[in-house]
Structure 1
Amino acid sequence: MTTLATEYALTDNRDPIHAIGRADAHDELTNGATPDILEQRLAWLSDPISPYPTAYLNGYRARITDSHATAYTQQRSITHHDDYWTRSAR
């Protein structure tokens, strides 16, 4: 099962439909949607009767994950300031 997941992730990155899913999520983020709103939309898009292909949904999900990672990194850089390099030598 792990091999299948790894192989699937690698092939999706070359799929134009995957790129379209990422681009759509990026556009929505740029237009003011929050990652939480996108997760709600993804749940709706992932409905079994939805016409969206799996590659599109994976691209959409990947962009949401990237957004969460970016937000975490920015928050961490603000709240956990490492002043090792700015301290004066003793």
Structure 2
Amino acid sequence: MTGDPLLERSIRVHENTLEWLPIFLPSLWLFAVYWPEWVAAAVGVVWIVGRIVYALGYVADPAKREAGFLIQAVAAGVLLFGALGKAAYVLATAGA
């Protein structure tokens, strides 16, 4: 699809958000299972803020997307590795 550069960047932001949802949503759910829900919600809000910063930066100038990307990537990493780490801990201590 080609057209107005602003439209193309807006569509790419939307597509990129959809690409991240399969990482974010299961990680958020699993994190909320093993950690307090308010902590999961707080990290989820950080992810959303990161996506907003990413979208605003990318639509303005693709070179300005790094800050938003880092915010949302770190938040997704905290959710994913926090859930996996706690699940591994629970499984390791369940047999003790």
TM-score tier (shorter)? 0.3 to 0.5
Task: Decide which structure has the larger Cα Rg and report it.
Answer: 1
If each structure's helix is expressed as a fraction of its own residues, which one has the higher value? Answer: 2
TM-score when normalising by structure 1: 0.38
